[in-house]
Copies of this chain bind each other. A is one copy, B any other.
């Protein structure tokens, strides 16, 4: 704390800016730390806003309070944190050592020794998106009340949500679950949560959305949004949807105007480029939060990941750096979680599709397991997709969906993804086991075993692929009952009989199926020892059914 007192100005009073300012005020109590914020209301849990709309959280103020019930306004930061915040003050321009702002008392010039850009991101708009009360975005505090009001008063009975990313999915749930609105979820890409998931995990989310009454339209880019009286007509993928309100949730873009005036370089993603110390290209100008790009641990390339978890960490690290400590924000693995009704959806690293697009020699395995011991009455199915690099066995990504255990699985895998760990390391992870909490073998470790098996030829097909040829069902007759495979030309031969039986030959590759993929994988190994090449259905029929593709029964 011996450094000479400095004057630090932070632009933006969200997670990154405030976390930085408050910690810096603690580490360097003699420094002058000032935060400039363009909005009146700030320092709220933006990720909680969908749950204010859904009614899970009683009133918006709750996401703005501390754990001990105090509203985080300018007075709070001044009195409790020793940090001055100027709300309703827009930062206009950065010049050498000075920040020009426009606030309640007009234009002012604030001198700084160190400038922190935590300008965040703003909701992306569609090209040609009309300005109309029935056409909304959902990103800030101010976006909640008009929608809530419209729902309460019955003015909003039908909604189109454009974009099935995390926010879009959360909004669809809020509108349906709380308000019983008719919701159409429109996604330009082939499946929901395209940034996070491959098609198989996404299909499980789609299944849940549909079963809860959300009309999901994928591969449906918006062609037009036309106001029609008090409502709006959305044309997407050739279909017209006349709704009371459309919410455009097609992601965010970094707010970089101020950085431009400072001469700070932007990166290929359009966000502010920073080094591991969160320094921009301009000396004494730093940046953190949703306005910067990071380095991705898997692709080693730049990525714009506007996540509250990262913004908070960056704010703390930047405070450490400014205070003169050696701290670094390293490459990110990109861990993300989304609640989709009662489904946990989580992912880290890259999906197979994204890995291949990045030129990686990637492969994936799919599996279905139990979140707890299989005999534990409250256990539920957990579907995992593990992506790895052929040859090196490097773990590239994990996607997990299930009522329980998905977030945990991703949190466990994230460390390995972040540091370039291998399947062998993942397989040998230790976990805290008790039947109510986990199976005796950690599902994530089993996924690694499945991938290692695949590396030696026990390979699976994705849960949505059509069978390559003949299908062999190795379940027991009493198990199959009404739970038949959705395939034609299925030979039913339980695993224990397969050991003794001849497998009838025929054209095309053999696909072995069972309930969750375990027995069929064993069958593939058994057949290989007899010279018969086969693959098995990854994640078993349970995954295929969870994907709800209209082919069959159980949930």
Partner-B contacts on A (CB < 8 A): 1, 15, 26, 29, 45, 47-48, 51, 56-58, 62-63, 65-70, 76, 79-82, 166, 307-313, 316, 329-330, 332-339, 344, 346-348, 370, 373-377, 407-408, 410-412, 414-416, 418, 428-438, 440-442, 445, 449, 475-476, 479, 495-496, 499, 514-516, 518-519, 522, 525-526, 529
Contacts and interface: CB of A to CB of B under 8 A. Distances in A.
- Report, nearest first, the 4 A-B pairs whose CB atoms are least far apart: A79-B496, A337-B432, A309-B433, A335-B432
Given A80-B496, A339-B437, A438-B407, A475 B430 contact: no
Given A47-B440, A312-B441, A441-B312, A166 B434 contact: yes
Contacts of A376: 48, 51, 56-57
A68 B475 contact: yes
B415 A429 contact: yes
A26 B336 CA distance: 37
A406 to B, nearest CB: 9
A57 B308 CA distance: 41
A228 to B, nearest CB: 35
A309 B446 CA distance: 12
B348 A432 contact: yes
A63 to B, nearest CB: 5
Contact of A442 (B1, B57, B309, B529): B309
Contacts of A69: 479
A75 to B, nearest CB: 9
A451 to B, nearest CB: 14
B449 A431 contact: no
B408 A430 contact: no
A411 B431 contact: yes
Contact of A428 (B51, B311, B313): B313
Contact of A337 (B337, B437, B516): B437
A433 B479 contact: no
A434 B62 contact: no
Contacts of A29: 526, 529
A65 B370 CA distance: 14
9 contacts: A47-B434, A47-B440, A51-B376, A57-B375, A66-B374, A67-B515, A68-B475, A68-B514, A415-B416
Integer count of this chain's copies in the complex? 2
A329 B433 CA distance: 18
Given A313-B428, A415-B416, 11 more contacts: A45-B373, A48-B376, A57-B376, A57-B377, A67-B370, A329-B428, A337-B432, A348-B432, A407-B432, A414-B431, A414-B432
A66 B494 CA distance: 14
Nearest to A51: B435
Nearest to A78: B496
Contacts of A411: 408, 411-412, 431-432, 442
B346 A432 contact: yes
Nearest to A63: B375
A518 B170 CA distance: 31
Contact of A335 (B48, B56, B431, B449): B431
